[in-house]
Amino acid sequence: MRIFAIDDSPSILSFIQRAVSNIESCELLSFLDPVDALTVLQTAPADLILVDYNMPGMDGIELISRFRTLSNARDIPVIMLTSETDPTIKIAAIAAGATEFLNKPIDQTEFTIRVRNLLALRKAQQDLANHAQSLERDVAAARARIAAQEREIIWRLSKAMACRDGETALHLERVAVVAGLIAEELGFDRATCETISMASPLHDVGKIGVSDAILLKAGPLDAREIDEMRAHAAFGAEILNGSDSDIIRIAATIAGSHHEKWDGTGYPQKLSGEDIPIEGRIVAVADVFDALCSERPYKKAWPVDEAHREILRGSGGHFDPACVAAFDRKWRAIRSLYHKPAVPGDGSPPTVRTNSTLETAA
C-alpha cells in the first residue's frame, strides 16, 4: 500500500521512513514541498496521507482541503502531524478532512499502530468496493442474459404467430428495423428506440384469436369477417396487458393502437391525433409500409418506391405527419433494407438483409 509523507523536516521524514519499514507491503513517498506532493497526488493513488501542519507556503490544513477536492481522494485516510495544542486548529483540520492526529514528538509505537489500523481500514474499504463492483458486474450480466432471453422468446413467439397469417420472419424484422429508425429520427434515446423495435413484432399477436379461414382468405372479407379481424387489436392488447416487462408493456400498447388512424377513423377505439400512443403511431407507418411491400394471399407485393409514396400520401390522414416525416428522412436507410426493389408489375417480393439485431437475437 502507498503512503504519502509530507513534512518540511528531513528528520521527521527520516523517522517516518524507519517506522514504515517495519510495516509489511508498504511503499513510502516522501515530500518536503506540499505543492510537489499535491502534483503527484493528482495522478498517483494513495492509501494513507501523513501531513505536517506547520509548513512554509502551504500549511497542512490547506493541503488537506485541496487534496479532498481530487476525484480519487474521498475515502483516503489522512493523519495530521502537529505539535500545536490549539483546539481550533484540530477542528479546522477535521473540517478540512483530517482523519486522525499524531502529536509531535511522535511516539514510534503509537505511530506504527495508528498507521497499521488505518491501512487495514483502507484495505477493508477497497475489498468491499471491489466486492460491490463484482456484484454489480454479475447483476448487470444476469440482467443482460435475462433481457436477451426475453428478446429471443418474443422474437420466436412473433415468428410463430406470423406463420398463421402467411407472414414471414423477414416482415417482422423489417417492421422492427423501420420502427426503430423512425423512433430514432423522432429523437428518442437509444434504449427507447430498442424497446420499440423489440416490442413491434408482437403488434399482431391478437390474430391468435382470428380463424385461419379469415386470416388466409384470398378474397375480400365480408362485414362479419372484418369485425372479427379487427378484434385482434384489442385482443392482442389484452393478451399482453399487465406485464412487468418494459418490452411487453410497450408491445401491449402497440398491439392495441397500431391500427388507429391520425384522423380518428381507425380501430379499435377510434382514437385520433396525439391521443394515439406514439409507439402505435410509429409502428403503424412501419407495418403498413412493409405490408404493402410484402405478398399476401389476397394481394401482390408493391414496389418499395410506390409503397413509399403511399405512406407519404397517408400523412395527416392515416398516419401521424411527424412519423411520416421521420420515415421520409430515413428513407435512404429504409430503402437499403431491400437489395433489389420489386420490378413494377411483376409482383415479386423484395429480398432483405438478415443481419439486424433482431435476427442475431433469434
**Structural domain includes residue 123:** yes
**Structural domain includes residue 142:** no
Q: Quick one: pLDDT at residue 339?
A: 60
Amino acid, single-letter form, for residue 291: A
Question: The cell 381507425 sits on which residue?
Answer: 266
Q: Which helix (H) or strand (E) holds 5?
A: strand 2-6
Q: What percent of the chain has pLDDT over 70?
A: 90
Same domain, 110 and 187: no
pLDDT digits (tens, 9 = 90+) for 76-114: 999 999 888 888 988 999 999 999 999 888 888 899 998
Q: pLDDT band for 209, please (50, 70, 90 cuts).
A: confident
pTM (two decimals):
0.59
Distance of CA 23 to the CA centre of its chain: 45
Same domain, 119 and 217: no
Cis peptide leading into residue 56 (ω within 30°): no
**Structural domain includes residue 155:** no
**Structural domain includes residue 153:** no
Same domain, 115 and 215: no
DSSP state of 2: E
Q: Among 23, 43, 177, which residue's Cα sits nearest to residue 111? A: 23
Average pLDDT over residues 149-167: 71
Judge contact between 302 and 293, C-beta under 8 A: yes
Q: Quick one: pLDDT at residue 357?
A: 31
- Expressed as residue numbers, the domain containing 117 is 2-134
Q: Quick one: pLDDT at residue 347?
A: 37
Judge contact between 337 and 353, C-beta under 8 A: yes
**Structural domain includes residue 178:** yes
Same domain, 73 and 25: yes
Same domain, 29 and 169: no
Interstrand relation of 351-352 and 338-340 (parallel, antiparallel or unpaired): antiparallel
Same domain, 190 and 295: yes
Q: pLDDT band for 167, please (50, 70, 90 cuts).
A: low
Whether residue 356 has pLDDT greater than 50: no
Same domain, 216 and 119: no
Whether residue 188 has pLDDT greater than 60: yes
Q: Among 89, 51, 54, which residue's Cα sits nearest to residue 73? A: 51
Interstrand relation of 2-6 and 27-31 (parallel, antiparallel or unpaired): parallel
Whether residue 144 has pLDDT greater than 90: no
**Structural domain includes residue 246:** yes
Cα atoms in the Cβ-side hemisphere of radius 13 Å centred on 321:
4
**Structural domain includes residue 147:** no
Q: Which helix (H) or strand (E) holds 352?
A: strand 351-352
Torsion of CA 44, 50, 56, 60, to 10 degrees: 100
SS3 308: helix
Question: Could you tell me which residue, 157 or 245, shows the higher pLDDT?
Answer: 245
Same domain, 61 and 178: no
Same domain, 219 and 341: yes
Q: Is the dihedral of CA 91, 92, 95, 98 positive or negative?
A: negative
Same domain, 88 and 176: no
Between CA 246 and CA 121 the distance in angstroms is: 42
Whether residue 275 has pLDDT greater than 60: yes
Number of domains in the chain: 2
Q: Quick one: pLDDT at residue 351?
A: 31
Q: Among 2, 69, 8, which residue's Cα sits nearest to residue 35? A: 8
Between CA 199 and CA 197 the distance in angstroms is: 6
Between CA 350 and CA 136 the distance in angstroms is: 45
Judge contact between 199 and 325, C-beta under 8 A: no
**Structural domain includes residue 157:** no
Between CA 203 and CA 68 the distance in angstroms is: 55
Same domain, 73 and 176: no
Q: pLDDT band for 166, please (50, 70, 90 cuts).
A: low
- C-alpha grid cell for residue 343? 420490378
SS3 250: helix
Q: Tell me, what CATH number does 198's domain have? A: 1.10.3210.10
Q: Tell me, what CATH number does 123's domain have? A: 3.40.50.2300
pLDDT digits (tens, 9 = 90+) for 190-205: 999 999 999 998 898 8
Question: Could you tell me which residue, 204 or 312, shows the higher pLDDT?
Answer: 312
Q: Which helix (H) or strand (E) holds 291?
A: helix 278-293
Same domain, 125 and 173: no
